[in-house]
Amino acid sequence: MIIPAVNFHLLKPCNARCRFCFATFRDVDGELAVDDALRVIDALRDAGAEKLNFAGGEPTLHRHLDRLVAHAKRSGLVTSVVTNGFKLDRLLDTHAGDLDWVGLSVDSADEAVEVELGRSRGDHVRRSLALADRCREEGVRVKLNTVVTALNCREDMSAFVRRFQPERWKVFQVLPMAGQNDGDVETLLIDDDTFRAFVERHAPLMAEGLGPVAERNDDMQGSYVMVDPLGRFFGNATGRHVYSAPILEVGVEAALAQVGVSTAKFEARGGRYAW
């Protein structure tokens, strides 16, 4: 049985240039045809997946994201899009009813920090708040994803999080990944104690149901089921991406066995929740 939550990284392109991105796919060319992507969704569902997170690159750049989300929803999967919000309004206009969750990526309440990180050209924080409000109006549940780096590790984001009102706030220690962000991420890296201090600074939010779900580097490595733009599982337990054979050629079980994902680590990091 597959781990119940899967991240499907649909494509390589992104409108942002986040210096810490662990999924730049420098080593991947191309993406699946839409009909093959639909077949991968069916295969994941048949293998026991319950929740499918569409990611990238930037998933709202995918020409057929609406079709993929609708198919996943009609297949009985819980649907989610993890996005910087670039073209999210367009998806909400047509397919809000097929979306269960939107995970919006905001790393700092300070727009200047977002610009320095490569996340923004100057209006990301404001736009993200507006998008969170719109998602709730459309009946879509909202997550907040924050990567903690040397640029934001001393920040107190409490006021921003209270305004954002996520149902779930995921806080990640910036993750170095050979072949993906090396050459860009080094000056952003922080140690475990610095990450812990950021999490503890925001612990009072727990009483309001807004407290962070924290993931250290070790928690993330080897605990996610991830599919790349070519329809292969990829793992990160070794500190670089390891790719399986294509799912549509060898099947879910055989492909997943090639990348090494730990069910115990998935459960330990709180991967299963009331989605």
Matching residue, tokens 């009102």: 165
Residue 77, phi then psi, degrees to nearest 5: -85, 150
- Tokens linked to 210: 């807004």
SS3 23: coil
What is the secondary structure of 94-154 as a DSSP string? HHGGG-SEEEEE---S-HHHHHHHTS-SS-HHHHHHHHHHHHHHTT-EEEEEEEE-TTTTT
The one catalytic residue in 21, 78, 142, 252 is 21
Mention every residue, 6+ apart, whose C-beta is less than 8 A from residue 188: 19, 20, 117, 149, 150, 151, 174
Q: Among residues 109, 141, 149, which one has the least CA distance to residue 128?
A: 109
Both tokens of residue 182? 């090396």
Non-local (6+) Cβ contacts of 16 within 8 A are 58, 84, 86, 118, 119, 120
Task: Say how far apart CA 53 and CA 66 lie, in whole Å.
Answer: 13
Of 3, 10, 11, 14, the active-site residue reads 14
User: Would you call 21 a catalytic residue per the annotation?
Assistant: yes
In whole angstroms, give the CA distance from residue 215 to residue 197: 13
Q: Which helix (H) or strand (E) holds 242?
A: strand 242-246
153 is catalytic: no
Q: How far apart are the first and last CA of the chain?
A: 19
Q: Are 7 and 49 in contact (CB under 8 A)?
A: no
* Annotated catalytic residue within 3, 5, 10, 18: 18
- Catalytic status, residue 135: no
Active site residues: 14, 18, 21
